[in-house]
Amino acid sequence: MSARPYRSKRHRPCDQCRERKLGCQTDGGLPCVRCRSADLPCTFEHPPPKRPRRESSGHMGDHSGSVASSIDPESSFLPPSWEEPSNHPASHLPSRGASVNPAVHQPAFAPLEDVPTNGAVSPAVSGHLVTVGRSPTQFVQSLDQLEGFSAHLFGASAESDPWLLRHCSFDDAGVKCFYKVHFRNAGGVPTADKIPVHFVLAADDLATSAKQETSCRFSGDATREELNRLVPHDYGQRLVSLFIKYVWPALPLISRSQMGLTPSCSIPEPWALERTPVHLLAAVYASALPFAAHDDYLCVLQTYNAPPADRLWRMAYELISEEIHTPHLAVLQTALLYLHRPLDEARASIADTPFVWSFVGTIVGLAESLGLHIECRMWGIPAWEKRLRRRLWWAIYAEDKWRSLLMGRPPYIHRDEWDVSELDGADFLYHTRGASSSSSGVHQPQDPVPFRYLVDLSGIAEQIYESFYTLRKSQYLSERFRVSHDTGRPLLEKLNDWYSSLPESFRLPNWSKSVSGLAPYPTSIHFAYLILVLFVYRALLRPMARSSSPPLIFDLDEIPTNPSALDTAVDDSPVLDFLNMPEIESFPAVELSDHSTGETTLNSAERCASIVISFTRRLTSSDFTGFWYSWSRIGFATVSNFALLLLVQAPNAERAAKGKQLVDSWLRVLRCQSQSFPMMKLGLTRLDAVHWVGLGQTFVLPQHVQEVIQSSGN
């Protein structure tokens, strides 16, 4: 159906807008702006009601005067693009991304000098009545797709008290209008166990100067014209399709419904690309470029043309630094994808800078500003937006928990500060735009989504960190083996339960590869599972050997300049006796009989290391083809550290020989596999550096460990 400009009463509104007495804007084509935003079917089946005949022009003039005297001052900010009278002022907040004829579309809010005074009727609102008081109903309206506005959460202790705002006279879209800043009631709350939730809708132009302060791009760069030049639409459509196939199952960060995708059509239309924000589209393109070899058309292009990955990621970052002042979900989506951008081989060998963890904190703070940490299923927002908000929250939660554990940082997200329920099948539905939720246009994913299993695993990662690796827990458990053992047992049981919950096709060992070029299970998630098992045993190994006494601390600036002062400051023992440090004594710190808990723990830890090494050795190009979370490379370095720990803390020569064998095996695997998979290079670098200096020169080793290392060298 062709676009039907709505400019006169001869063009009637759609059934949805007529029923709600709202302006029907179709300049961008069908469905209309409101139906598109709310994911409603845009139909024209019901005839318009008959209008009463006007008595006389004089009577109408009197009626207009009565309207002018009773009109709400807020209504002077309503746009002139409506054609029919309405009692619903909220629809003056236009949907984000809507295409409106500039000759008809007016700013959603008049400039201050245009506000009518002295009781005169503004032409922009002539015939519009505004009700006063709370509306008994609230219609669905997007929080994210408001053109020219961004929504920020009012928290429980914010300067605007949610328990005061609950008394506002919101209209039937949950909006209370002011000038450039408005209040939006999320809807559906408060209830017995849910607090009131409100957002402030702020005009984007209020943050213009702030955007300029943090901008890191040159004038004219990072525009849609540049993006379309780098990635033409026919190129971009295929990249989005690759993103859905390879990245989306592990990071479902975009709405397939909003991209117009269906199970039978994974290639978006050009209009979907044009309405997607530039920063998000650039990040989606860049995330999909590593998989271009799996597309018959793109693989040829990349053979003769260097892919613009670096420029695309730079565009994404430049726009994040600006749009974070007026954030929408697209900023958050882009930032998450930016965290997982592939590194070139030179940077793959270098650890992340502190920027990465700081950037995670920025993402968490942005998500909380957008209210993603609050359950939204009862809110008055479209179904697709609810699903996307929930998936984004759990993606951020997983990011926080994995990087907190792998980087040894206190997490940003705490249990008492969020209430989003667990993901279920409803969070992965998608349907054709304009189809109702109960129609046949709704599609349930046929295959299990690996991301759900990663989220479950992330919850166990959080428990492992809280049980073993917080500052207080580390201090308490570092010399208490029995308590550590009792703490680790239920965590290992939870990991076993998680593994048992996997579909049969996901489980190991399953080394047969599919003919489609993808591994039959999500390899990166299995590696994450093995890393968590390793972290439990790493904590159990801590109290199994005693630490040597720390060296004495000397501050050269505090040493007395008078030599005679040293005679009175110390006793008769030599001051520098601490330089003759003995080797570490008392290996082990726990009993190691044949059937003791300590012996069993060491056996299990060595077996854990052997399984990880065997798992990595068996990886093939089919596994490397899939999507890997960027923090996985820290996991490979963690395995290197764990193998060294088994060697350095070996309680006897037999264990030392086993530890040396594990270190050597892991080193060979990394040197071989890193040629095909640069993500392993950080783990290889860590191990190579120790061997380059020498194990005996890097660590203070017991005599039996030194002998094993020397004999293996000979």
Distances (CA, A) of 465 to 370, 401, 674: 27, 8, 29
pLDDT grade, residue 421 (50/70/90)?
very high
Residue 175 lies in a domain: yes
Closest by Cα among 114, 42, 128 to 81: 128
696 phi, psi to nearest 5 deg: -70, -25
pLDDT grade, residue 272 (50/70/90)?
very high
How, if at all, do strands 175-176 and 442-443 pair?
unpaired
Closest by Cα among 44, 67, 63, 45 to 54: 63
Closest by Cα among 682, 706, 704 to 694: 706
Contacts of 258 (CB under 8 A, 6+ apart): 272, 384, 388, 433
pTM to 2 decimals? 0.80
pLDDT at 118: 36
Residue 95 lies in a domain: no
CB 191 within 8 A of CB 109: no
Residue 138 lies in a domain: no
Mean pLDDT for 142-163 is 93
pLDDT for 439 beyond 60: no
Could you tell me if 374 and 240 lie in one domain?
A: yes
C-alpha 112/C-alpha 377 separation (Å) is: 37
pLDDT at 106: 39
Residue 23 lies in a domain: yes
pLDDT, tens only, 622-634: 888 889 999 999 9
Lowest-confidence region among 46-50, 203-207, 465-469: 46-50
Could you tell me if 200 and 250 lie in one domain?
A: no
Distances (CA, A) of 631 to 351, 399, 635: 10, 9, 7
Could you tell me if 250 and 394 lie in one domain?
A: yes
Could you tell me if 287 and 258 lie in one domain?
A: yes
Q: Which of the two residues, 538 and 596, has the higher pLDDT score? A: 538
Q: Structurally, how many domains does the chain consist of? A: 5
Q: Considering only the C-alpha atoms of the chain, give the largest distance between any 2 of them, rounded to a whole number of Å.
A: 117
pLDDT, tens only, 579-589: 333 343 434 45
How, if at all, do strands 198-203 and 149-154 pair?
antiparallel
Could you tell me if 388 and 455 lie in one domain?
A: no
Residue 570 lies in a domain: no
Could you tell me if 185 and 304 lie in one domain?
A: no
Distances (CA, A) of 589 to 468, 487, 600: 19, 18, 15
pLDDT for 321 beyond 60: yes
Count the helices and strands in the chain (H runs, E runs). 27, 6
Mean pLDDT for 259-278 is 90
Structure-token match 């509104």, residue found: 13
Q: Edge-to-edge strands of the sheet including 181-185?
A: 149-154, 198-203, 181-185, 175-176
pLDDT for 57 beyond 60: no
Could you tell me if 634 and 682 lie in one domain?
A: yes
Residue 588 lies in a domain: no
What is the Cα gyration radius of the chain?
32
Q: Which of the two residues, 277 and 436, has the higher pLDDT score? A: 277
Residue 675 lies in a domain: yes
pLDDT at 220: 62
pLDDT at 78: 34
Q: CA angle 9-73-188, nearest 5°?
A: 80
Could you tell me if 383 and 454 lie in one domain?
A: no
Could you tell me if 398 and 456 lie in one domain?
A: no
Could you tell me if 230 and 194 lie in one domain?
A: no
Lowest-confidence region among 177-181, 339-343, 588-592: 588-592
For residue 607, the enclosing domain spans 601-713
Could you tell me if 282 and 394 lie in one domain?
A: yes
Could you tell me if 318 and 346 lie in one domain?
A: yes
Residue 288 lies in a domain: yes
- Cβ density class 130-167: b for 16+ within 10 Å, e for less: beeeebeebbbbbbbbbbbbbbbbbbeeeeeebeebbe
pLDDT grade, residue 49 (50/70/90)?
low
